[in-house]
Structure 1
Amino acid sequence: MSAAGYDLNTVSFREPTPKRHVAQIPLYVTVPEILTSRSLGFHNRPIGFTDAVKASVYSSFDSVAIDPDSRKSDNYWGGIFNFEFSHNGKLLVAACEGKQVLIYDAGNQKKIETIETAHLNCVNCIKFLDERTFATGSDDALIKLWDIRKLDKCMKTLHGHSSWVKNIEWSEEEHVMVTSAFDGTVYAWNLNDRTENNMLFEKVFLLSGLMRMKLTPDGKKMLITTTAGFMIIIHNLNLLTLALDLRSFRPNLYRLMQTSEQCFPVATTYNYLFDPKRTRNRIEFIDDFPNESEVISSLQIHPHGWAAVSRNLNSEENEEWTAVHDIQDRDAKDYEDSFMYTEDCVDEYTFDTPSNDESADRVHQRPTDLWLGYTLLEDYNALETTAGTTRQEMGIVSSGLIGSSAPYNAYFQNHPDERNKVILNLKRMTHYIKEKNVGKGFIKEVAISPDGRVICSPYDRGIRLLAFNQSCQEMSECVLDEPKELHPIVEMNDYHRDVVVSCKFNPMHYQLVSGCLGSQINWYQPVL
C-alpha cells in the first residue's frame, strides 16, 4: 500500500458539489405518541423508543464545518490517514501523509496545534493511552510518545519495527502497548520499564503478510488481518505467554493446508491451538467473505467486542467490500464437526503395521511436502545450448516442512487422530456491502459509532453511514440465519475534494469527522 506524495501543481482544489441522500427509515414510535404516553403518567419508554431516536439522529448527520486551513495551498498536509479522539472527546488528533500531526478542539472544530515534523515519513496511526498521552506510528518504522501539554518535543521514540507501523493498541488489563507493522511483527511494549536507551519490548507474534492488528475493548481477543484473504482471532488472549504459545506456529502454512486440502505434519501438530477447550491464546481463522478477498486492508472492532468490521480488496484490486464478522465466543458444540481428514499425510514413517497389500503400498508413498526447484549458480552460468534450445538441469530440495523426524513421529504416536486432521473454519460473517473501488493503493479506514449501531465508511469523495437493518437497531437484535447486506442510512457524496480515506466517531458526543487525500477535514453532527 503506497503512500505517495502529491505535487501542489497537480492537486485540484475545486470545491465539490455536495449530494446528500437519506434512506427512508420506518419509525415505530413517533414524538406525539411519546408525549401522549408521558402526559398519561406512563414514564417507561415504549418498545422501539431508543431505535426511533437513534435512527432519527443518525439520519440527520450532515457537514457542519470544514477546516479553513485545509483550503490554503501553503498548509497542504497530503492525505489524512488516521484520526483519534481523546478519551473525553474534547480533542481530535489527525495523522498526515506529509509527516505532520494536527490537534483540534472538538468543541469548536478549530485547529489548536500543528506538529510540523512529527516523523521522518508519513504518519499512519494514533492512539491515546490516557487523557494526556498519545502515541503515533509512521512509515519511518518508529513509534513516538507525546504529551498533549508539551508538543514541542516527543516524550520518547521507540525503536523495534523495521517497516511501516500501522496499528497501535493499548491493553488495559496487562498495561502494555501493542503495535504491529508491515514487517509482520506484533510487539508488546512495557512503558513502565525501560533499558538505558529504550523501552522494554517483546516480539509476541510474527506473520508474513500481516496487515492490521486490533484488540477487543476488554483485551480478551486479538484480531489480525492478512494479505492472504483470512483473519485470525486469538481468543483468551494472554500477552505474557503469547510468544511462547505460538513460537513456531505458521498460520500461512495452516491456511495453505486448508485451501489445498492436503496436510503437512508440521502444521497438524498445532491442531491443539484450535481446541475450543483451550483456555489461553486459542486460534481461530475467519475466511468467509462476500468476495474472493485477498488483502484485508483495514479493521475496526465493535465497541462491545461483538464484531470485527473490515474492508478488503480482491486479487485484481478492482473490487472493495466492507464485511462484518461476529467474533463472540461460540458454543464448543459448534466446533465438533469443523474439521476434515485427508489421506495425504501417510508416508514411509507410518507407525501402523500394514495389514494388506494396499496398506503396504501406501507405507512407501512419498510424504506430502513443499518442494523448491533450484539451479546452482555455476550451472546457470554454464548452460549448454544445443540446436537453439537451452538445457537446464534442475535440482529439488525439501522445504523442511515434512516433519518426518522423530519428534513428529512421537507426537503422532501419542495423538494418532491428529495426523490427518485439518481444522476448518466456522462461518462468522453477518453483514456486507460493496464499496466504490477508487483511490487505488490507499487504505480506507472504516469507523464504528460508540453505541455500535452505525458504521461509517469512506465512499469515494464522501462517506456513508451504514446500519445493520433499516430500523438502525443494535447488532444483537439483528441475528440472521444468512449474511445480509448492510443498510445505507445516509450517503454524503462529493463532500470532499478528493478520495476519503479516513473517518472517526467522537466517543462521547454525536460527532463525526472524515479526511481525504487532498488534506481536507470535514466535521459532521446531527442537523435537526
Structure 2
Amino acid sequence: LSPQRRSGEEEEYKTGTPKSLPALLPPKPSPVFPSSACAPPPPPPPLESESSWGAGGRTGGGGGDNVFGWLKDRCLGRGVFVDPCRDNFRTMTSLYNSINPADSLNLSTKTHGAVFNLEYSPDGSVLTVACEQTEVLLFDPVSSKHIKTLSEAHEDCVNNIRFLDNRLFATCSDDTTIALWDLRKLNSKVCTLHGHSSWVKNIEYDTNTRLLVTSGFDGNVIIWDTNRCTEDGCPYKKFFHTRFLMRMRLTPDCSKMLISTSSGYLLILHDLDLTKSLEVGSYPILRARRSTSSSVITNTDTVSSPSRSGSPCHHSDSNHSLEKHTSQSLRREGGSPRNSVEALTPEVPGEKQRGNCITSLQLHPKGWATLLRCSSNTDDQEWTCVYEFQEAAPVRPASPRCSLRLTHYIEEANVGRGYIKELCFSPDGRMVSSPHGYGIRLLGFDTQCSELVDCLPKEASCLQEIRSLYSHSDVVLTTKFSPTHCQIASGCLSGRVSLYQPKF
C-alpha cells in the first residue's frame, strides 16, 4: 500500500471514525510527512449544517451558545438538519404579512343563517361550514367552488364539525345529536348518535383508540366507540360531568383533557384514560390559587361548584385521613391516579375581582399552551389569553403535575355580545387568528412570529398584531387556518365566509 493509504487507515483505526465522514470533534493536527507527495489530501470543507445550524443560537464557531442551543432544540425534538414541518411553516408564516382577502362565499341568511364553525379536512382539500339553519356546506378551498350542501343535516343549529380522517367527519347540533358523514357518500348519514340531553357544542377525536368525545350544555362528556359503529349508532358511556360546561378539548397526545366553564374555571384531567368512566366523588381534585405556586389536594363530592374565590379548601379530619390513605396507597403502587382533576382559575387581565366566562378553548398544536377567549360576566370586556403548561414534580403522589401560567394576552373588540367567538392557532403554533369585530386579527408572540418556547416572557406580555383583515359586514364568529395551504377562512353572523391568501 502507498504511504498515503496506509496513513489514512492508521488514522481511521486510531480515531474509530472513517476519514471520509465529517468529524464531530475538532480535527487533530495532521501528522508530519517527509514530502508533500505523501501528504494526505486536505479535509473536505465543512457542511453548511456543521457551521450554521439555523435559529436558536446554533450559529458560529462552537461557543457555549451553540451547546445550549443544541440541547434546547434536542429537548424540543428539532432536527439538526432541515425539519420539513418546522421550516415549511416558518416560510409560510412569513407569507402571512402579505395576506389579503382573496375570495368570499356569500351564503343566504334565509337558508343557511350565521356561520358557527369552519373546519378543513386534514389534507386541506375540503372546507366544511356549520350553519345556523340546520345545514352543512362543503367547498373546495383552492377554487372556492361549492361542492355539496347537506340540507337538513340536523334539526337545529349545527355547532361544530370534526374530521376523523380525510373522508369521515362528525357534526353536532342543538338538536342533541351527533351525525357521522362520509365524503364518498354524502347522500345520507353514516349514523346518528343519541346520548346527550341538551345542546351538543364540541367534538374531539382520539386517533389512537378511535374514540369520539363530545360535550354539551347538559354538562356531560360522552365517549363513543367508533370501532363498533353500526347504522343504529355507536356504543357510548358518560365519561365526566360538571356544571357550567362550555368547551372541552384533548391535547394532541391525548394525555390531558381540558374543560372550560361559564363560571370562569378551567378543569384539567391528567393522565387521561378514556376507557374508564369517572363517577362523581371518586377522584381527587386539585384547587389552586391564581398563583400556581400554592395549591392543595382535596377529595370532594363534585366538581360542579368550586369556591368562587379559588382559594384552597380546608380539610376536615376525615378528608385529611382519606388523603393520607390515598397518598400512601399511591406511593406503594409507585404512581399517580389516572384521570385526576385539577381545577384552576386562570388569571385574566383587567379587574381581577370580576368574574369571567371562558367561552372558547383551543390547544397549541404541540401541546405547549392553551388559548382562551374570556368575557366578563357583564359582557363589557373580552380577552384573548395564552397560558403555558408548566410541568413540575408533584407535591404528593396524588397531585396532578401541571399548572398554567399566563404568558400573553390582548383585549378584543366588545361586539356581538352573547355570541361565542372561535379562535385558533396556526398549524405550526406560531400565530393566533382571532375574530375581531367585522374581521380577524393575526397575532404573534413577538413581531418575528417566533415559536412560543423561543420568546417566553418572565411576565405576561401583550400579543403582537401581525395583520388585521376586515372583509365582513357583520360580526365574525369563527376563523380557521388551513392545515396545508397558506390560507385562512372566517365566517360571520350574516352568513358570509371569507378566504384570505397572500397577494403580491
Q: TM-score, normalised by structure 2?
A: 0.73
* 155 and 247 in structure 1: CA distance in 2 versus 1, 3 angstrom threshold: farther
Are positions 1:332 and 2:393 aligned together?
Answer: yes
Counterpart contact for 1:258–1:423, Cα < 8 Å: no
Q: Give 1:507-522 correspondences, 5 Å limit.
A: 507-522=483-498
Q: Which of the residues 442, 455, 466 maps onto 1:465?
A: 442
Q: Give 1:228-267 correspondences, 5 Å limit.
A: 228-244=263-279, 247=282, 249-256=301-308, 258-259=310-311
Mapped partners of 2:141, 2:319: distance in 1:
50
Q: Which of the residues 282, 298, 307 maps onto 2:360?
A: 298
Are positions 1:311 and 2:373 aligned together?
Answer: yes
Alignment deviations for residues 305-348 of structure 1 (CA, whole Å, 9 cap, x no partner): 111101011111111111111135x1216x58xxxxxxxxxxxx
1:278 corresponds to which residue? 336
Give ranges in structure 2 of 5+ residues lacking alignment.
Answer: 1-45, 57-85, 284-300
1:161 corresponds to which residue? 196
1:128 corresponds to which residue? 163
Return the letter of the residue paired with 2:366.
H
Q: Which of the residues 283, 289, 292 maps onto 2:348?
A: 289
1:477 corresponds to which residue? 454
Counterpart contact for 2:120–2:482, Cα < 8 Å: yes
Mapped partners of 1:267, 1:54: distance in 2:
54
Mapped partners of 1:266, 1:130: distance in 2:
49
1:489 corresponds to which residue? 466
Return the letter of the residue paired with 1:295.
C
Alignment deviations for residues 378-406 of structure 1 (CA, whole Å, 9 cap, x no partner): xxxxxxxxxxxxxxxxxxxxxxxxxxxxx
Q: Number of residue pairs matched?
A: 399
Counterpart contact for 2:263–2:356, Cα < 8 Å: yes
* 267 and 102 in structure 1: CA distance in 2 versus 1, 3 angstrom threshold: farther
Mapped partners of 2:319, 2:96: distance in 1:
47
Greater Cα offset, 149-158 or 259-268: 259-268
Return the letter of the residue paired with 1:251.
V
Greater Cα offset, 427-436 or 238-247: 238-247
Counterpart contact for 1:254–1:267, Cα < 8 Å: no
Deviation of the 1:482 alpha carbon: 1.2
Are positions 1:498 and 2:474 aligned together?
Answer: yes
Q: Which of the residues 67, 92, 100 maps onto 1:62?
A: 100
Mapped partners of 1:323, 1:267: distance in 2:
35
* 426 and 190 in structure 1: CA distance in 2 versus 1, 3 angstrom threshold: closer
Alignment deviations for residues 258-311 of structure 1 (CA, whole Å, 9 cap, x no partner): 4485557897757969x9962522322331222444211111111111111010
Deviation of the 1:483 alpha carbon: 1.2
Q: Which of the residues 138, 160, 169 maps onto 2:173?
A: 138
Q: Secondary structure at the match of 1:228?
A: coil
Alignment deviations for residues 65-105 of structure 1 (CA, whole Å, 9 cap, x no partner): 111x42x566x411100011111110011100011100011
Mapped partners of 2:378, 2:278: distance in 1:
35
Q: Secondary structure at the match of 1:59?
A: helix
Return the letter of the residue paired with 2:96.
Y
Return the letter of the residue paired with 1:522.
S
2:240 corresponds to which residue? 205
* 108 and 196 in structure 1: CA distance in 2 versus 1, 3 angstrom threshold: closer
* 265 and 479 in structure 1: CA distance in 2 versus 1, 3 angstrom threshold: farther
Mapped partners of 1:425, 1:252: distance in 2:
21
Return the letter of the residue paired with 2:194.
H
Mapped partners of 1:87, 1:231: distance in 2:
28
Are positions 1:323 and 2:385 aligned together?
Answer: yes
Q: Give 1:342-353 correspondences, 5 Å limit.
A: none
Deviation of the 1:476 alpha carbon: 0.9
Are positions 1:93 and 2:128 aligned together?
Answer: yes
Deviation of the 1:41 alpha carbon: 8.9
Q: Secondary structure at the match of 2:227?
A: strand
Deviation of the 1:165 alpha carbon: 0.6
Mapped partners of 2:304, 2:165: distance in 1:
36
Alignment deviations for residues 462-498 of structure 1 (CA, whole Å, 9 cap, x no partner): 00000011211001112222111111111113x1010
1:452 corresponds to which residue? 429
Counterpart contact for 1:293–1:312, Cα < 8 Å: no
Mapped partners of 1:326, 1:498: distance in 2:
33
2:185 corresponds to which residue? 150
Give ranges in structure 1 of 5+ residues lacking alignment.
Answer: 1-39, 337-417
Counterpart contact for 1:80–1:97, Cα < 8 Å: yes
Counterpart contact for 1:55–1:471, Cα < 8 Å: no
Mapped partners of 2:374, 2:237: distance in 1:
29
Deviation of the 1:128 alpha carbon: 0.6
Counterpart contact for 2:389–2:402, Cα < 8 Å: no
Counterpart contact for 2:240–2:279, Cα < 8 Å: no
Q: TM-score, normalised by structure 1?
A: 0.69
* 265 and 120 in structure 1: CA distance in 2 versus 1, 3 angstrom threshold: farther
Q: Give 1:26-45 correspondences, 5 Å limit.
A: 42=48
Mapped partners of 1:483, 1:84: distance in 2:
31
Counterpart contact for 1:312–1:322, Cα < 8 Å: yes
Mapped partners of 2:265, 2:138: distance in 1:
35
Mapped partners of 1:148, 1:165: distance in 2:
22
* 254 and 104 in structure 1: CA distance in 2 versus 1, 3 angstrom threshold: same
Alignment deviations for residues 174-196 of structure 1 (CA, whole Å, 9 cap, x no partner): 22000000000000001222589
* 45 and 136 in structure 1: CA distance in 2 versus 1, 3 angstrom threshold: same
Mapped partners of 1:126, 1:427: distance in 2:
28
Return the letter of the residue paired with 1:332.
A
Mapped partners of 1:179, 1:474: distance in 2:
30
Mapped partners of 1:131, 1:423: distance in 2:
35
Return the letter of the residue paired with 1:504.
K
Deviation of the 1:425 alpha carbon: 9.2
Return the letter of the residue paired with 1:331.
A
